[in-house]
């Protein structure tokens, strides 16, 4: 059996490290980060008047963590990974899901989002990924095997484990 491609494994590690870094920033700034009650309201984007932007390394990371290794399209305004108001991919959720909190300080969230995006750009460039920062519906609709074909990090569907 062939192991995971090195580039792919590195990308997964780099995105995981970035998510850990975000969680650390949140923990170190509890007053500014806010307190999420995990009510799930903000995952219904039109109803909450909220948008979530994601990058390609995050999409590859999530796809690689899912059993079926494919991402679901968004067929309604609500995130397809929310079921019965619970996030079904909580451990692998996007940076924006980790940073946004309705009780948090918008200035803090904006600074952390910008710093996160800079880091995600570096990860993407290191893996020769095209730069994409898209609204979740467009990002999910546009994500396919072709997306990663030219990248140093192969499509998660090629992963062997």
* Residues within the interface to ligand SF4 (CB under 6 A): 36-43, 52, 79, 81-82, 87, 89, 93-94, 97, 100-102
Based on CB atoms, which residue is closest to ligand SF4, 41 or 157?
Answer: 41
Between CA 144 and CA 138 the distance in angstroms is 12
Instruction: State the sign of the Cα–Cα–Cα–Cα dihedral 127, 89, 83, 25.
Output: negative
Cα distance between residue 123 and residue 84, in whole Å: 33
CB of 13 to ligand SF4, least distance (A): 20
Q: Pick the closer one to ligand SF4 by CB: 79 or 154.
A: 79
End-to-end CA, the chain: 7
Closer of 35 and 128 to ligand SF4 (Cβ): 35
Query: Minimum Å distance from CB 28 to ligand SF4?
Result: 19
């Amino acid at each position: 059996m062939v192991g995971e491609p090195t580039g792919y494994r590195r990308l997964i590690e780099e995105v995981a490290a970035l998510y850990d870094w975000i969680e650390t920033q949140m923990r170190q700034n509890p007053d500014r980060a806010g307190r999420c009650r995990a009510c799930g309201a903000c995952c219904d984007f039109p109803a909450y008047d909220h948008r979530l932007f994601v990058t390609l390394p995050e999409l590859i990371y999530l796809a690689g963590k899912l059993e079926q290794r494919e991402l679901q399209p968004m067929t309604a305004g609500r995130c397809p990974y929310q079921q019965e108001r619970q996030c079904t991919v909580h451990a692998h959720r996007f940076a924006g899901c980790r940073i946004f909190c309705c009780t948090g300080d918008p200035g803090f969230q904006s600074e952390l989002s910008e710093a996160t995006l800079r880091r995600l750009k570096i990860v993407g460039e290191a893996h020769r990924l095209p730069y994409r920062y898209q609204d979740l519906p467009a990002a999910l609709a546009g994500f396919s095997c072709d997306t990663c074909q030219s990248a140093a990090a192969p499509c998660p569907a090629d992963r062997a484990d």
